[in-house]
Amino acid sequence: MDYYTDRNNRVFLSGTIVGNAEFSHEVYGEGFYEMKVSVLRLSGQADVLPVTISERLIADKNLKTGSTLNAFGQFRSYNKLVDGKSKLLLTVFVRELFDDMAGRNPNNIVLSGYLCKPPVYRTTPFSREIADLLVAVNRSYNKSDYIPCIAWGRNARYVKNLAVGERIALSGRIQSREYQKKFSETDVRVLTAYEVSVGKLAACENAEHFDLDGEFGIVSPAPHLFGAVKEQF
């Protein structure tokens, strides 16, 4: 068990299942399923997010289209071969389900990791400041997740001057975003990107003594979850 690295990546999610669970793969005899969960923003717009969940967690649950999913877990990345090319895919890996998450932010993530690419800073035609960043987040078993994030306003101005390899911590929400990609003159597809929209961000030089809970006011609903779990990718 690595308590510290497991605390680097925490997600609270509460939303509506859209589409039934589909079998994904098996690890050490344990099956994992994928589904999409729609989470409402305060604006009324919804983020439709990919979720991976163990058969062990859903064995006694009646999870189907239209059901509410209340979950705690981690936002993870993995590489998959798509059309002959390696593609970075993202999913919320569920570690625990809850019957009720009343009063909690339905879409909340805390990350602590390292900048692994130079931030890309830009302004919109309406002078809104944006910075794209890729954060490498360590987890147990010497693995890392690579999480794309987007910062706005003063957070964008702050992060644009940070160097590759610098340790940062952030909180926000996971969002889905549709975009068009042109594969040929006649093949234009609508794809979906997933990223963390940053609400709060801080640099943390001495990572081991950086108080994520104190800095962002987020506490795990179940401390026992920070233990060894089977890795599905």
Residue 213 near residue 219 (C-beta atoms within 8 A): yes
Q: Which domain holds residue 44?
A: 3-218
pTM, two decimals, is: 0.87
pLDDT of residue 6: 75
Residue 153 near residue 129 (C-beta atoms within 8 A): yes
For residue 21, what are its two tokens?
């669970």
We report the CATH number of the domain holding residue 20 as 2.40.50.140
Q: Is the residue at 40 inside a domain? A: yes
Q: Kindly tell me the number of DSSP H helices and DSSP E strands found in the chain.
A: 4, 12
Digitized pLDDT (tens) for each residue of the chain, 233 residues in all = 454 557 889 999 999 999 888 999 899 999 999 999 999 998 989 999 999 999 999 888 888 899 999 999 999 999 877 777 788 899 999 999 988 777 788 999 999 999 999 999 999 999 999 999 999 999 988 899 999 999 999 999 999 999 999 999 999 999 999 888 888 888 888 889 999 999 999 888 765 656 677 666 654 555 444 444 445 55
Instruction: Provide Rg for the chain, Cα atoms.
Output: 18
DSSP H helical ranges for the chain: 3-7, 55-58, 153-159, 212-216
Q: Is the residue at 231 inside a domain? A: no
Structural domain tally of the chain?
1
